[in-house]
Structure 1
Amino acid sequence: MTYEKGVAAARADPEDEPPRQLKRKLGKADLRAVPETRRALRELLLHWGRPGRSEVAELLTSELVTNALVHTDCEAELTATVGARSLRVEVRDFVSRRPKPRVPHADDGTHGTSGRGLVLVQSLADAWGVAALGPGATGKVVWFELDGGVA
């Protein structure tokens, strides 16, 4: 507890702070959205997590955004919600086909990078998944969560 001018003022508990959110509509095949999204996420996460966590979040977000724009022929939506201790990033697209992580092989040829982004998400995120949209809706949400690593 700190005192200012004789009035008791409790320090704000980080868990009491409302979550902050970043929302972006991503245009069909607009790959300029990838670096723009990274910059916006970097700003959102400026004082979040232990060192290195925001960089991991940027990388994984780039992978999900790129996948949505390259592997679907439609727009997408990004929502990143940061709380005191965790981050959840969701990328919604309007194609029901589920993404599949691919283990990279040296002899993959020209398509050698396809599918590797999800392997990164799978290995670096604390949790991740794919959820179909509700009844009457077409598409899915690919998401990941990261713990900020602070007490």
Structure 2
Amino acid sequence: MKRHGRGGGPTTAGAPSAQLSRRLGRADLRAVPETRKELRELLRHWGRPGRSDIAELLTSELVTNALVHTDRDAVLTATVSPHGLRVEVRDFVGRRPRLRVPSADDGTHGRGLVLVQALADAWGVRAHGVGKAVWFELTEETAA
């Protein structure tokens, strides 16, 4: 885990950014709870407990999707800035994720992007050289 903090103090409005960057090993689902723990530590000074819980949930969904639906490594980057939180999970497969409405028969599968769409202030998918990045943002302005 790499954590970059410019200024070293709590990240609140007007304060510097802090970042978590983590490489996720191919199909290593142990990375999901480990990532949640690392994100929780990054967000410890954010001062938005309810939003931090949402951030953990949505990050878990993006990490799980990258590890389950690709056969490659992925890279997580989470950045806390004065404007809020941005989490991005890059993988190395060009196939774009599909937002689908899960059926009752799916159990817990198929709900990840639906949760991201419902709970994030913004989200999307962007192509990069050899794959894509799925991202979401939780903004400071709407934080409770």
TM-score (norm 2): 0.85
Superposition map of 1:116-135 within 5 A: 116-133=111-128
Structure 2: distance between partners of 1:127 and 1:120:
12
Counterparts of 2:96 and 2:143 in 1: how far apart (Å)?
A: 33
Larger radius of gyration: 1
Q: Does 1:138 align with 2:130?
A: yes
One-letter amino acid of the structure 2 residue matched with residue 144 of structure 1: F
- The Cα shift of 1:114 comes to 3.0
> In structure 1, the residue corresponding to 2:49 is in which secondary structure?
coil
* Structure 2 unpaired stretches of 5+: 1-10
Match of 2:23 among 25, 30, 35: 25
Is the 1:85–1:150 contact (alpha carbons within 8 Å) kept by the matching residues of 2? no
Question: Hey, what's the Cα distance between the residues in 1 that align with 2:143 and 2:97?
Answer: 31
Bigger drift between 14-23 and 123-132 goes to: 14-23
Q: SS in structure 2 opposite 1:46?
A: helix
Give the whole-Å Cα distance in 2 for the aligned partners of 1:127 and 1:150.
13
How many residues get paired? 134
Gaps of 5+ in 1: 1-12
SS of aligned partner of 1:43: helix
Work out which of the residue numbers 65, 72, 75 in structure 1 matches 2:73: 75
Q: In structure 1, what is the equivalent of residue 139 of structure 2? A: 147
Aligned equivalents of 1:49, 1:69: Cα separation in 2: 30
Instruction: Tell me how far 1:105 sits from its aligned partner.
Output: 1.4
Displacement after TM superposition at 1:42 (Å): 0.3
| AA partner of residue 127 (structure 2) | A
| SS class of match (2:113) | helix
CA distance in 2, matches of 1:75, 1:150: 32
What TM-score do you get using the length of structure 1 for normalisation?
0.82
Matched, 1:36 2:34: yes
CA distance in 2, matches of 1:43, 1:14: 15
Q: Secondary structure at the match of 1:45?
A: helix
